[in-house]
Amino acid sequence: MDTGNERSVQLSKRASLSLYSKPKPPTFVVHIMEAIKRYQHVHPEDDTISFDIKRMEDIYEDTQGQADEPHRHSYYTIVIIKDAKGVHRIDFNSFTLSSQQVYFISPGQIHQIIEEKPSRGYALTFSPQFMLENGIEKCFIEDLHLFHPFEYSPPLELTEEELADIVQLLEEMIEFIGSDKKFRYQAVGALLKLLLIKCNNACSLPQEDNTQTVQAAVSLLRNFKQLLDVKYQVWHKVHNYASALHITPDYLNTSVKSLTGKSAKEHIQSRLTIAAKRLLLFSNLSAKSIAYELGFSEPANFSQFFKKCTGLSPSQFRQEI
């Protein structure tokens, strides 16, 4: 009899053979990029630099406390807060800057930090190229519960002890970057991976005791997210993804929720809702055009979906933001 675990272990081979023939890139990306600032490189004056770390106190002094406009990066950003007062806006959600927080911003997410006083902390940026050069595989990042490019992205709240451990790693990174020691970037890469592991361990989601079950669920989640990135404009139902992954919709929902706290259905809704919000705010496309762009057969169906997920109609959202 084929068990749930066996089905999940088998799916990665099947998926790699048949699932990822990508459609033409979504045109809405072009519309958004025209309307919002994007930082392409970790270092604005040297595109060969793929890692950087700065103290937030220095950033505040350099900018004289002026907030940057909402923007996006083509690289990963981690903001570690020791103490701050203000607001951090990430993809249409506002979070109060406080103490002992860590924010994880994925490439492409729209964010803005507004400080009411000089913050104490660190801003760490690194590119996919830096990850590749230092043995940090993309699947490692995907398996963490830290980066949520198309979902609600609240800060990770740390204890004083956890923050102290993270700060120690960050200070070691600063020491290596500022030195002329051999293999300093490899050392920073190792420290970055350890920082990510420590942050992941600080997440509060309960973990299954059965290691085989966890590994199977992680593999399933990774394949589901990869498939969602490719098919979200075409497939809006859980059964579409479950069928492609050769499992039942209930099993997919349960497995995804066990690791992320959200069902597969909620992930699908989040992906579509964020895409719709970005289009409504940063393009001049009509709601009707957006509906077709996102794969809805009728504009009325899109409006109904959007209002159910956000509490606002597309036109109301555009007016209120």
pLDDT tens sequence across 259-317: 888 899 999 999 999 999 989 988 889 999 999 999 999 999 999 999 999 999 999 99
Structural domains of the chain in order of their starting residue, each with its CATH number: 4-29+209-320 (1.10.10.60), 37-202 (2.60.120.280)
d(CA 59, CA 187): 24
Nearest CA-CA partner of 53 in 63, 42, 64, 65:
42
Per-residue model confidence as pLDDT tens digits over 102-136: 999 999 899 999 999 999 999 999 999 999 899 89
Q: How many CB atoms lie within 10 A of CB 188?
A: 23
Local confidence band at 31 (pLDDT 50, 70, 90 cut-offs): very low
Ordered strands of the 111-115 beta sheet: 37-39, 71-73, 111-115, 86-90, 93-97
Which of 203 and 123 is assigned the larger pLDDT? 123
DSSP class of 292: H
Segment among 16-25, 64-73, 154-163 with least mean pLDDT: 16-25
